[in-house]
Amino acid sequence: MTSLLKITNNRFLSGILISVLGALCFSSKAIFVKLGYRDADIEPLTLLAVRMMVALPFFLLNVFFAGLRKQEKPLKLNIWIWISFTGCLGYYVSSLLDFADYNTYLPDLSD
């Protein structure tokens, strides 16, 4: 019983740590985008393409590790295709709108 509590507690603390780290990384994204706009005369689509190229290996690692887990019923190929399409479309549209907003309103970052 004690070992079960330790495992549950470790998972709970790991979940909190991952959530906090994710929130910090997500909120720092705006700072890097603003610095990218400040240091270079770049269009939102170009900066978005760079961001997607940097993020792609992490998404592929997630797919790889998700495939390693033992599932009760594996997903069919057409389900994987729809999941990938929906995820890419949602990521692209939300990022495009996000970057277009940064291009419209940029606070002054000068010293």
pTM exceeds 0.85, yes or no:
no
SS3 content of the chain, % helix, strand, coil (to 5): 80, 0, 20
Residue 64 has pLDDT above 60, yes or no: yes
Residue 110 has pLDDT above 80, yes or no: no
From residue 14, give the alpha-carbon distance in Å to each of 6, 71, 109: 12, 22, 35
Residue 33 has pLDDT above 60, yes or no: yes
Amino acid 106: pLDDT:
55
**For the chain, which residues make up each domain, given as ranges?**
28-104
Per-residue pLDDT reduced to its tens digit, 70-91: 777 777 889 888 988 898 888 7
From residue 29, give the alpha-carbon distance in Å to each of 17, 37, 53, 91, 101: 19, 13, 15, 14, 13
Residue 41 has pLDDT above 70, yes or no: yes
Q: How far apart are CA 36 and CA 47, in angstroms?
A: 8
